[in-house]
A and B are shown apart, each in its own frame.
Chain A
Amino acid sequence: MSNVLKTKVGLKQEEEMIFKCDLGSLKMANLYIDEKNKKENEKMGTSPVKLLALSVLGCLAASFSFCLQKKNFSLSGLEGKAEVTIARNDKGFWRVKKIDVEMNPKIDTPEMRKRADECRKFFEQYCIISQSLRTGFEVNINLNY
């Protein structure tokens, strides 16, 4: 199994369109997927599309941070945003068309900037999620520093 990693998750229906997530024995409080409530302040949890966007964003941010850390540089801050565009395909079904990612890391020194420039060239390759999804839809990354 050395060349294979496995990850498991589960869920249980709580209400008709609200599902309690089973992420294992994490330290975090409960996470819910809520496809019932439409207003944000009434939602118990997030939607599957937002989870998809977060997985792409989190993976890219971790890959970039990891690349800097490899040469002992630490970010003093990083903010990222992702926007998912969903459009109807030729058969009329809603499908993810693209995810636009914007990442704004704080680069403090010229040495760090040099390393960030190197990371820019290859950090995406180390993101399992975005590279696995890219055959299905566009993932556009805008890295600003």
Chain B
Amino acid sequence: MIIISNDIKTKVGIKLDESESQMIFKCDLGNLKVKDCYIDEEHREEVDMLGPNPSRLLALGVLGCLSASFIFCIKKRNFKVDNFTAEAEVVITRNEKGFWRIKKIDVNILPKITDPDTLKRAKQCLKSVKDGVSFFEQYCIVTQSVRSGIEVNVNLDL
């Protein structure tokens, strides 16, 4: 990530996999500790897929960003959740011209919190600020940026 004045720049790359398939791409995420990453638009069955397809990547981008924003909000007051899971469902429909487009992403955030003070803080994080968007959502770059094009519904179960 390069920071130039008030802009942040992030780079990624891909390369067509050298297999026979024309629909598998190797990701270049930089020098991460992570093993190879592939985008697979070739296989339909999950067990055959070498990697996620672009819709799943987008959903993970939204889900990961919202999760990190929520945990960050809790951490700001030095609290911790007991456990944390989250899920997202992408709904894709045809537009009036017949092209497939993402209609909405439904997000379910499921933190487990037993400590009353942490729960109090979690409720603060969930508080709506302007435009009906909760405090922690405002800090999620990805979700707030995609929202003009795609409906993102966030459900946080406390």
Contact = CB atoms under 8 A, between A and B. Distances in A.
A143 interface: no
Main secondary structure of the interface of A (DSSP, over half): mixed
A7 B92 contact: yes
A9 B63 contact: yes
6 contacts: A13-B85, A23-B52, A31-B37, A33-B68, A78-B16, A128-B55
B137 to A, nearest CB: 10
Contacts of B13: 57, 79-82
Contact of B86 (A10, A84, A95): A10
A83 B92 contact: no
Given A7-B55, A48-B141, 11 more contacts: A9-B56, A9-B88, A17-B72, A28-B38, A33-B60, A54-B57, A57-B14, A81-B14, A86-B8, A93-B144, A135-B148
A7 B29 contact: no
Contact of B80 (A11, A16, A28): A16
A60 to B, nearest CB: 9
Interface residues of A, number: 85
Which 10 residue pairs of A and B lie closest in terms of their CB atoms, listed nearest first?
A13-B84, A136-B148, A48-B65, A58-B39, A96-B145, A51-B61, A55-B57, A33-B64, A59-B54, A78-B16
B155 interface: no
B46 interface: yes
Contacts of B128: none
Interface string B67-111: 110011001000011011111111111100001111100000000
B52 A79 contact: no
Interface in B34-57: 34-35, 37-39, 41, 46-57
B12 A82 contact: yes
A54 B27 CA distance: 8
Interface string A52-71: 11111111011001101100
A79 B56 CA distance: 21
Contacts of B53: 7, 58
Contacts of B80: 16
A26 B16 CA distance: 19
Contact of A94 (B8, B88, B148, B149): B8
B54 A58 contact: yes
Contacts of A59: 54
